[in-house]
């Protein structure tokens, strides 16, 4: 392995490193505080920012309407114990209105992605606690990190035309790492096989969450979903794997 090449890949972008360290620090503080209203507020900010970014990717003209409805949705998550049910209503309302006006349905899309995933994120925390969020973070973070380095140094076989930089070897390395490290965290909730299987499924779907975001950006002909994080892009660039993985983890935990 070329040590110089490794050093350049890790330390070559100082802006990206600084932002990454800052994000990790904030994450650790939030986990340590472990307060529902703080996490609700942070997820809400991330959700509204994600709505704005995805509205640009879908080329939606009336962004103000999307954002206002998104804020209303998030406020309603404080009023009911049935959080998941909230996520389906706005898509139904917008789809009904668009059908009545005989207009294009693309305004519905932001209320599917990322709305449902963000509401599920909050439900996961509310029902299973901060450890479930830590489990999710471990699986997705290790999947993403090991996929990058495995693909960079061992990758040869292209994984998908949607994301030309992804390799099959990189994906395999990421899924293996995410599954192994995630299984350790999952032992808090159940036995080893349960933790292993669910970590594997979350890892796999996190890869496709990342791929889906790449698909949206390729269709919109943009490099990043936004520029809120220097060196890292937008909120959806940081959450893409989590937005698919969180649904699998939540469903898997509810079924057991």
Per-residue pLDDT of the chain in tens (256 residues, 90 and over written 9) = 444 544 444 444 677 677 778 888 999 999 999 999 999 999 999 999 999 999 999 999 889 999 999 999 999 999 888 888 888 889 999 999 999 999 999 999 999 999 999 999 999 999 999 999 999 999 999 999 999 999 989 999 999 999 988 999 999 999 999 999 999 999 999 999 999 999 999 999 999 999 999 999 999 888 888 778 776 688 999 999 999 999 999 999 999 8
The string of pLDDT tens digits covering residues 167-186 is: 999 999 999 999 999 999 99
Q: What is the pTM of this model?
A: 0.91
CB of 203 within 8 A of CB of 174? yes
Phi, psi of 234 (to 5 degrees): -100, 180
User: Pairing relation of β-strands 163-167 and 158-160?
Assistant: antiparallel
Q: What local confidence, expressed as pLDDT, does residue 6 receive?
A: 47
Give the distance from CA 92 to its chain's centroid: 23
> Which residues in the chain belong to E strands, given as ranges?
158-160, 163-167
The CA-based angle 41-86-91, given to 5 degrees, is 110
**Quick one: tokens of 24?**
């990790």
CB of 162 within 8 A of CB of 218? yes
Q: Considering only CA atoms, which of 112, 108, 120, 114 is closest in space to residue 50? A: 114
**Which contacts of 17-23 are long-range, i.e. CB under 8 A and separated by 24 or more positions?**
17/231, 18/230, 18/231, 19/229, 19/230, 19/231, 19/232, 20/231, 20/232, 23/229, 23/232, 23/238
Can you state the percent helix, strand and coil of the chain, rounding each to 5? 75, 5, 20
114 prior amide bond cis, ω within 30: yes
């Amino acid at each position: 392995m070329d040590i110089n090449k490794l050093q350049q890949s890790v330390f070559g972008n100082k802006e990206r490193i600084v932002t990454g360290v800052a994000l990790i620090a904030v994450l650790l503080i939030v986990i340590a505080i472990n307060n529902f209203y703080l996490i609700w507020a942070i997820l809400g900010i991330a959700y509204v920012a994600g709505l704005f970014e995805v509205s640009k990717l879908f080329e939606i003209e009336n962004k103000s309407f999307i954002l206002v409805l998104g804020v209303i949705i998030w406020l309603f998550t404080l009023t009911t114990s049935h959080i998941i049910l909230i996520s389906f209503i706005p898509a139904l309302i917008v789809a009904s209105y668009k059908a009545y006006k005989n207009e294009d349905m693309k305004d519905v899309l932001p209320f599917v992605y990322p709305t449902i995933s963000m509401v599920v994120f909050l439900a996961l925390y509310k029902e299973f606690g901060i450890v479930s969020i830590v489990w999710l973070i471990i699986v997705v973070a290790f999947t993403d990190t090991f996929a990058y380095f495995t693909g960079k140094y061992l990758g040869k076989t292209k994984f998908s035309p949607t994301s030309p930089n992804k390799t099959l070897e990189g994906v395999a390395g990421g899924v293996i790492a995410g599954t192994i490290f995630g299984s350790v965290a999952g032992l808090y909730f159940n036995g080893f096989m349960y933790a292993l299987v669910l970590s594997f499924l979350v890892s796999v779907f996190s890869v496709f969450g990342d791929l889906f975001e790449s698909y949206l950006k390729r269709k919109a002909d943009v490099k990043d979903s936004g520029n809120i994080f220097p060196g890292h892009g937008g909120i959806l660039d940081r959450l893409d794997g989590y937005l698919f993985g969180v649904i699998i983890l939540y469903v898997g935990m509810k079924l057991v």
